């Protein structure tokens, strides 16, 4: 545990993940917020844009400048895809560690990155070095990492749900299905017709069925866990709520003698932010609202071969900003739970 305050910079502090980072870091006992950037809001007080932070954050937004950010111990990128990679090499050269909440460093293949994101990767040499920051898998590597690729929201919920089965070779890796629902905050804070109240309310729709950008990220993690190829049908849906992801996961597990409840409880018994619920439970997204927790339940309906795993997270917390703070805590040898509220917001 360090007694020194960590100097933190945030690039892109005006979106939903940015303000969530501010909410969590502003009261973190070991953090000093040093700089928050936004080209569009340069010179504007953070509390003007986000009145909920009045009396808590007294900084103004500034234009992103690598020389200034390079004085920080760690910089969070809460920016669109393609931003962090343009500044990463210079920041790392200055000795600043990076936690990217976008997708710039999640995929190990530059070719795969270009296929899914439509532009060449500007620093492909860093892809191999970057650590995929799912603490429940890579905690030891996160401790010494210079650059963390913070996992996406869907990939966090899906991987945590499937991992115990995959790691023990209990499921057919060609038969995985992830049926996922997300609140509209996952679409970001920019103007988006499909996320408007009148468009999203009282409705439910699937999207990106032919291929979502999180698919290669999920497959990459599951392939690494299994040591074999993994085929996954992943269908995301938009639901009329602000926060939350509910992943209903299906896997064929022919071995009916396995105590699945014990398997999941044992896998996550030492994980501070994964809660395996009692048998026959049905987790709800409202039970994780505002907290860095993934709640899981595992079922074998009618004692059949198909196992159903239910996984819920807050897409802005365990699916984004909270997991980023968890990674920071690990990187700087802090209490992993520091700054992360343990109690969800209900109602």
Q: In terms of Cα–Cα distance, which of 272, 321, 331, 317 is closest to 6? A: 331
Residues 146 and 158 in one domain: no
Q: State how beta strands 131-132 and 232-238 pair.
A: unpaired
CATH number at residue 121: 3.40.50.720
Give the mean model confidence (pLDDT) for residues 48-58.
Answer: 94
Give the mean model confidence (pLDDT) for residues 275-281.
Answer: 98
Q: In terms of Cα–Cα distance, which of 236, 219, 104, 259 is closest to 183? A: 236
Laid out side by side, the sheet with 176-182 consists of 205-206, 232-238, 176-182, 245-252, 306-313, 294-299, 274-276
What pLDDT is attached to residue 173? 85
CATH number at residue 196: 3.30.360.10
Distance CA 76, CA 102 (A): 10
Contact partners, residue 257, CB within 8 Å, separation at least 6: none
What pLDDT is attached to residue 189? 67
Residues 160 and 283 in one domain: yes
pLDDT at position 95 over 50: yes
Q: In terms of Cα–Cα distance, which of 35, 143, 156 is closest to 101? A: 156
Residues 139 and 170 in one domain: no
b or e along 127-151 (b: 16 or more beta carbons within 10 Å of the residue's beta carbon)? beebbbbbbbbbeeebeebbbbbbb
Residues 179 and 126 in one domain: no
Residues 144 and 176 in one domain: no
- Is residue 296 domain-resident? yes
Task: HSE, CB side, 13 Å, CA atoms: give it for residue 274.
Answer: 25
Report yes or no: 153 and 317 within 8 Å, Cβ to Cβ: no
- Is residue 36 domain-resident? yes
What pLDDT is attached to residue 3? 52
Residues 203 and 326 in one domain: no
Give the mean model confidence (pLDDT) for residues 259-280.
Answer: 98
Query: Would you call 153 a catalytic residue per the annotation?
Result: yes
Residues 160 and 100 in one domain: no
pLDDT at position 341 over 80: no
Residues 162 and 229 in one domain: yes
Number of domains composing the chain: 2
Is pLDDT larger for residue 172 or for residue 233? 233
pLDDT tens figures, 300-334: 999 999 999 999 999 999 999 999 999 999 999 99
What pLDDT is attached to residue 200? 82
- Is residue 113 domain-resident? yes
- Is residue 346 domain-resident? no
**Tokens for 19?**
């303000």
Residues 101 and 172 in one domain: no
Contact partners, residue 123, CB within 8 Å, separation at least 6: 85, 88, 89
- Is residue 76 domain-resident? yes
Domain that holds residue 245: 154-313
- Is residue 1 domain-resident? no
What pLDDT is attached to residue 2? 45
Question: Mean pLDDT over all residues of the chain?
Answer: 94
Distances (CA, A) of 309 to 91, 260, 294, 295, 345: 40, 10, 12, 10, 24
Give the mean model confidence (pLDDT) for residues 99-111.
Answer: 97
Residues 136 and 177 in one domain: no
Confidence of residue 133 (pLDDT cuts 50, 70, 90): very high
Q: In terms of Cα–Cα distance, which of 59, 76, 65 is closest to 39? A: 65
- Is residue 345 domain-resident? no
Distances (CA, A) of 301 to 177, 285, 305: 16, 22, 8
Residues 230 and 106 in one domain: no
Q: 153, 180, 198, 269: which is the annotated catalytic residue? A: 153
pLDDT tens figures, 187-241: 776 767 777 778 888 999 999 999 999 999 999 999 999 998 999 999 999 999 9
% of the chain at pLDDT higher than 90: 88
pTM for the predicted model, two decimal places: 0.95
What pLDDT is attached to residue 108? 96
pLDDT at position 1 over 50: no
Residues 113 and 184 in one domain: no
- In this structure, what DSSP letter does residue 151 have? P
Report yes or no: 287 and 310 within 8 Å, Cβ to Cβ: no
């Amino acid at each position: 545990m360090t007694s020194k305050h960590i100097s933190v910079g945030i690039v892109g502090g005006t979106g939903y993940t940015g303000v969530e980072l501010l909410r969590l870091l502003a009261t973190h006992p070991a953090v000093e917020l040093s700089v928050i950037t936004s080209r569009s809001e340069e010179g504007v007080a953070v509390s003007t844009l986000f009145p909920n932070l009045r009396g808590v954050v007294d900084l103004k937004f500034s234009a992103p400048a690598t020389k200034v950010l390079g004085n920080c111990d760690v910089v969070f990128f809460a920016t669109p895809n393609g931003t962090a990679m343009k500044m990463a090499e210079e920041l790392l050269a200055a000795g600043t560690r990076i936690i990217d909440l976008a997708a710039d460093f999640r995929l190990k293949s530059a070719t795969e990155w270009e296929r899914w994101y439509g532009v060449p990767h500007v620093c492909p040499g860093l892809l191999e070095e970057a650590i995929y920051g799912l603490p429940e898998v890579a905690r030891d590597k996160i401790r010494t990492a210079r650059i963390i690729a913070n996992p996406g929201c869907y990939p966090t919920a899906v991987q945590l749900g499937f991992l115990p089965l995959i790691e023990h070779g209990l499921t057919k890796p060609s038969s995985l299905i992830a049926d996922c629902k997300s609140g509209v905050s996952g679409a970001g804070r920019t103007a988006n017709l499909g996320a408007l109240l009148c468009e999203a309310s009282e409705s439910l729709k699937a999207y990106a069925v032919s291929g979502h950008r999180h698919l290669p990220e999920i497959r990459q993690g599951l392939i690494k866990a299994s040591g074999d190829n993994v085929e996954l049908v992943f269908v995301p849906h938009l639901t009329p709520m602000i926060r939350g992801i509910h992943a209903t996961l299906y896997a064929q597990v022919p071995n009916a003698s396995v105590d699945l409840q014990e398997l999941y409880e044992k896998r996550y018994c030492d994980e501070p932010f994964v809660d395996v619920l009692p048998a026959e439970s049905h987790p709800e997204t409202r039970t994780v609202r505002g907290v860095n927790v993934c709640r899981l339940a595992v079922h074998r309906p009618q004692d059949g071969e198909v196992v159903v795993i239910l996984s819920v997270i807050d897409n802005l917390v365990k699916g984004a900003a909270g997991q980023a703070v968890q990674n920071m805590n690990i990187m700087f040898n802090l209490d992993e739970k520091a700054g992360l509220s343990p109690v969800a917001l209900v109602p």
